[in-house]
Amino acid sequence: MRPEPFRIEPTFVPRIWGARSLAPLYPEKSNLPEPRGEAWLTGVDCRVASGPFAGKTLGEAWQEMPPEWRGTRFTELGDFPMLVKFIFPKDKLSIQVHPDDAYAAKHERAAGGHGKTEMWHVVQAEPGANVLLGTKAGVTKQLVLDAIAHDTLENLLEKHSVYNGDTFFIPAGTPHTVEPGMVLCEVQEYSDLTYRENDYGRTDAKGKSRELHVEKALDVMQFGKTAGGKIRPLSIYTAYRSHSKLKVGRNVTLLSACRYFSVERWEFYEGISISDGRGFAFDILVVLNGKGKIGWGRTAWKKGHDEGRGSSDFQAGQCWFIPAPLAVAPRTAPHATMLRAYVPDLAVLRSALKAEGHSKTAIAGTVFD
């Protein structure tokens, strides 16, 4: 079976805090009868829309694909490692926190046993939009309990203004909430474990409140300054040149990385090579804006030999799985922006960033253990 990229259909998830229009990413999802808060792009129940696994779920495709598609990083077959989604809040999310792997493995084996570290990239933000992330200095467990009892927990969290293109890293154990007025792309360890501390007294259409998990939340919360927060991305490669009215170039930044994921933002005019086909790990490409064609050819496994060429159209809102052996080169007119997500080798990544001229301090502010 020759490797080729395949498109994954999103699954649109109802949320009490969600939106009734997901335009412009999904203009067909307007005037919805119930609010949809998330579009899961790599959920294992999402359907594959193209390629040899069309019609199967992503989970089925992951199990059935040749090992070289997954990459040498995944020689031993396990669970699909990375969940990517869009978030569309029209109301505040609950104040919540996620466990780390150690706690989840001990207490949440029935739910998969994986913790949740995540990052957010701001696709769109309205003026005055904010996220609350991490506790203020001096906050203790008792202060949190008192604040929950008096519905003042927000006052104990750090508030960050949100602008288009911002990136936030949220390690497990960091309390947080997202306010309305933005669209986020979230990349995370594959887990749906959430411990709610406050849900603002909301009830669903049947008058039922969502469950709170205060005891577990306090077990896993990290107090004081934690790693992460708003991240300063690192420029990886920038090149622009003009040919009369035609602009050709690319701007590549590393948004955030940890052992679970590395996420890059690719802005380009005309054409760009995104995946180099080295075979280490598959890539996930998420199209934020623009349209064009993705071209590919297999180059990694037979040096100097190119086989299995092909191409397919892409547009905003789509998500593509790129097998590890493939070299991929999207082409667009006039402009497109994509996110590339993959599971990195942190030692190799840090070495590459150092070679690019980034300082140890700068790298430590973007790449986390």
Span 234-364: which CATH code?
Answer: 2.60.120.10
Same fold, 6-230 and 234-364: yes
Span 6-230: which CATH code?
Answer: 2.60.120.10
Task: State residue 272's pLDDT score.
Answer: 59
**Residue positions annotated with a catalytic role:** 196
Task: State residue 249's pLDDT score.
Answer: 59
Domain ranges in the chain? 6-230, 234-364
Task: State residue 102's pLDDT score.
Answer: 97
pLDDT by residue for the chain (369 residues), tens digit each? 888 999 999 999 999 999 999 999 999 999 999 999 999 999 999 999 999 999 999 999 999 999 999 999 998 899 999 999 999 999 999 999 999 999 999 999 999 999 999 999 999 999 999 999 999 999 999 999 999 999 999 999 999 999 999 999 999 999 999 999 999 999 999 999 999 999 999 988 788 999 999 999 999 999 977 778 999 999 986 544 433 333 445 788 999 999 999 999 998 876 556 655 567 899 999 999 999 888 887 543 344 444 557 889 999 999 999 999 887 777 776 789 999 999 999 999 999 999 989 999 999 999 999
- The pTM score is 0.92
Task: State residue 226's pLDDT score.
Answer: 74
CA distances from 125 to 66, 128, 258, 290, 291 (A): 40, 8, 25, 18, 22
Task: State residue 140's pLDDT score.
Answer: 95
Pairing, β 130-135 against β 176-178: antiparallel
Task: State residue 278's pLDDT score.
Answer: 63
Nearest partner of 221 among 174, 177, 176, 178, judged by Cα = 174
